[in-house]
Chains A and B, each alone.
Chain A
Amino acid sequence: MNKEWPIWEIFIRSKNGLEHRHCGSLHAADEEMAIQNARDVYTRRQEGVSIWVVESKHITASNPEKNGEMFEPAADKVYRHPTFYELPDEIKHM
């Protein structure tokens, strides 16, 4: 092979009403072929009703080494959860 086909990330909506979810990646020469290959590789058993493909190089990812400053600030904010607030037992649904 003279030049390697780019990698595409594949997102599948399993049925209407649900979101597209990342399910894996594959190589293809262009976006049309990426969709066709995704159909054959990821939906052989009716796993999807819609496919998104995006070339991997277009995805920007957060850096796991910076997970501390990125995600820890949310850790001490328990007041964002309903269970933080105390209610009398008589109140059943709130």
Chain B
Amino acid sequence: MENKTLSLEDQFQNRIDSGENIEAKDWMPEKYRKTHIRQISQHAHSEVVGMLPEGNWISRAPSLRRKVALLAKVQDEAGHGLYLYSAAETLGISREELNEQLNSGRAKYSSIFNYPTVSWADMGAVGWLVDGAAIINQVMLTKTSYGPYARAMVRICKEESFHQRQGYEIMLSLCNGTEAQKAMSQDALNRWWWPSMMMFGPRDEESPNTEQSMKWKIKKKTNDELRQQFVDQTVPQVEILGLTVPDKDLKWNDETGHYDFGTIDWDEFWDVVKGNGLMNEKRLKDRNEAWDEGKWVRDGASAYADKQAEKRAKKTA
């Protein structure tokens, strides 16, 4: 029995090494399944909670153009949550359990959404930086070994690039506007820069799961590699806006061909992860309210479906 399990795991690793995708009904190590359920569901929860800080601004968008864009972005995020929940469900967890994990506060979602969105410029900074950071991670995940997750990522990446562009356009308009508008966008950049850098997770040496994740091709790049990619691609965009990155240690390094940057405040990172961010409580409360207030709709749809089924049964009887 022991031998057989070993050989199954070896076979599995061979499939991964040769670049094959794993599909829902294939044999997989229990840890591969559990890791994926955790990662995909955290990703789905992040999409769902990610709607909250932006939903806050839909009714206050400064023009119709901005309003339809924000509305479409938030709607996409609901869709992305659904693609991801479906992918998680292929691994044998129910939607009900997934919902319960989020609403009870047991599940984690991206800490970035536990920061408040206090000005309109935050809608620009979130689309540009937060979605920008997310895209870097998600482009990598289109090549992840688990088929349903990879396919959801392809769909998401296709839709996501508009999110970042509309965010950058908001920043650009503000930076070309009045002094006060430009100051507002600098303030947004100051507040969102470091939390966006933290989105890639702990430094490689502090990230114990990275090695296994790379071996199973769940991840193809490490947290630090992705973070560096983010810095390198974002700094020139900051310069075009005429803004300043809030990092006095940031400078181009000719030798490495990358930007060097300052130290991330990991105490803040872990504090927010543990639930002490400014908005942790509020997000969870809003999420639960939305769920509870939607109950009559779900009940109504169930009752209607039952009634229709009954009618059909009578007709055929």
Judge: A and B partners, yes or no: yes
A57 within 8 A of B: no
Majority-rule SS of B interface residues: helix
Residue of A1, A3, A44, A64 with most chain B CB atoms under a 10 A cut-off: A1
Q: Which of B106-155 contact A (CB under 8 A)?
A: 151-152, 155
Q: A89 to chain B: closest CB distance in Å?
A: 36
Cβ-neighbour of B82 out of A4, A33, A41, A45 (below 8 A): A41
Mark contacts of A18-62 with chain B using CB atoms, 8 A cut-off: 1 yes-contact digit, 0 otherwise. Answer: 000001111101101100000011001100000000000000010
Which of B23, B94, B159, B295 contacts A4 (CB under 8 A)?
Answer: B94
The answer to whether A64 touches B26, judged by C-beta atoms less than 8 angstroms apart, is yes
Within 8 A of A (CB), among B54-98: 72, 75-76, 79, 82-83, 86, 89, 94-96
Known contacts A44-B79, A45-B159, A63-B25; A30/B305 CB under 8 A? yes
**With known contacts A4-B94, A61-B25, A64-B23, A29–B75 Cβ distance under 8 A:** no
Scan residues 294-315 of chain B and give those whose CB is less than 8 A from a CB of chain A.
295, 298-299, 301-302, 304-305, 308-309
Q: Return the contact of A29 from the options B89, B99, B301 (Cβ within 8 A).
A: B301
- B27 part of interface (Cβ distance < 8 Å): yes
Which residue of A3, A26, A30 is within 8 Å of B308 (Cβ)? A30
**A30 CA / B300 CA spacing, docked (Å):** 12
| Number of A positions contacting B (CB below 8 A) | 23
Q: Decide if A30 touches B86 in the complex (CB within 8 Å).
A: no
Kindly list chain A residues whose C-beta atoms are within 8 Å of the C-beta of B151: 24
Q: Is the CB of A29 within 8 A of B302?
A: yes
Q: Which residue of B lies closest to A27 (CB)?
A: B95
- Which residues of chain A are near B309, meaning CB under 8 Å? 30
Using A27-B95, A41-B79, A64-B26 as known contacts, say yes or no to A2 and B302 having CB atoms under 8 A apart: yes
A72 within 8 A of B: no
What 1/0 mask marks residues of chain B from 26 to 54 whose CB sits below 8 Å from any chain A CB?
Answer: 11000000000000000000000000000
Contact B82 A29 (CB under 8 A): no
- Whole-angstrom distance between the alpha carbons of A1 and B96 in the complex? 8
Q: Does A76 contact B (CB under 8 A)?
A: no
Given contacts A2-B299, A23-B155, 14 further A-B contacts (CB under 8 A): A2-B302, A4-B96, A5-B301, A24-B86, A24-B152, A29-B301, A40-B75, A40-B79, A41-B79, A41-B82, A44-B75, A44-B159, A45-B159, A64-B25
User: What are the 9 tightest A-B residue pairs by CB atom distance, in nearest-first order?
Assistant: A29-B305, A30-B305, A29-B301, A25-B86, A64-B26, A4-B96, A64-B25, A41-B79, A29-B302
